[in-house]
Structure 1
Amino acid sequence: MKRFTTTWTLVLMAVLSFSLMSCQNDDERLAYYLDGVWQGNITTDSQDYSTTIEFFQDGYYATSGYGYETSKGWSYGHTTRTYFEWWVQDRTIILHYSDSHRYIVMDCNWLPGTDRLGEVIEGYFVDYDTGYDLARFYLRKVYNNDNYYYAKENHHTEDDK
């Protein structure tokens, strides 16, 4: 009986460690797929925006990075460029905008399946604290940051924050 219990415990530990590694690998893969430039639309209750979001991964296997959102409102013609930090946790993309100190969850109906150009990501921006939907987004990948050093050379300065 003791041998059975020991064997069962080892099998259970192996299964749990593989599932934890699988989740981490999923997060790494999703972060890698995000790395690049995405263009599309963000729609709120009162405004539509033409948007470019740039994701720069912190390193080859990193599940985090920084980026910029550049949006132009169709009604008002106003353009903004906002710095943010991002990370992937349990296949969820979280953005932290430094100018507003807000945490935003990208609640995705569709996640990218590869790092190829033309991939789509769509869903809702949701306020992390309240759970309220802030805007709907539809973005298509238009550029890959395949060269890690390119991203590092173009890293933000303190003036960008």
Structure 2
Amino acid sequence: MRIERIRLFVLRQDLRHSFETSSHRKSGIEHILVELTDADGRTGWGEVAAPSDPYFGAETTVTAWEIATRYLVPALLGAEGEEPADLEAVWDRIRGHEFAKAGFSGAVWDLYSRARGSRSPRPSAARAARSSRVCRSGSSRRSTTCSRRWRSSERRGIRA
């Protein structure tokens, strides 16, 4: 795979129901979509899901955009590799900024799977095992707003 074109899009979307944490109230999301195109015209998509405000961590949508446009795009544009790890290696020197790198990694894996003619780039057994306990909101198992399939004893264990 040789990356010939990279496009970035900012997606702003209101949430159907806002939520509030101890630090702030959230009523919408702002993420960055990454589109990679290879030399054969195939495209792969990824999402930089960094929070828009610095209440969760230091990385935000603004900082992710800066890292993407200033470092990730120039490093990946024109890069070649047979495997996703070959392309992901181009940003090894960049410290931190895990949200930004994860969005590009997702796009690389999506492009790789499309090049192979597969819909799922990674083995699905592990994903299925994890998803059996994922909350309706799509958040991790540590969330306390989980589906009714969770036993109350499991929720108590999370809070401990």
- TM-score band by shorter chain is under 0.3
Larger Rg: 1 or 2? 1
Under a length normalisation based on structure 1, what TM-score does the superposition of the two structures give? 0.27
Structure with higher helix content: 2
Bigger proportion of residues as strand: 1
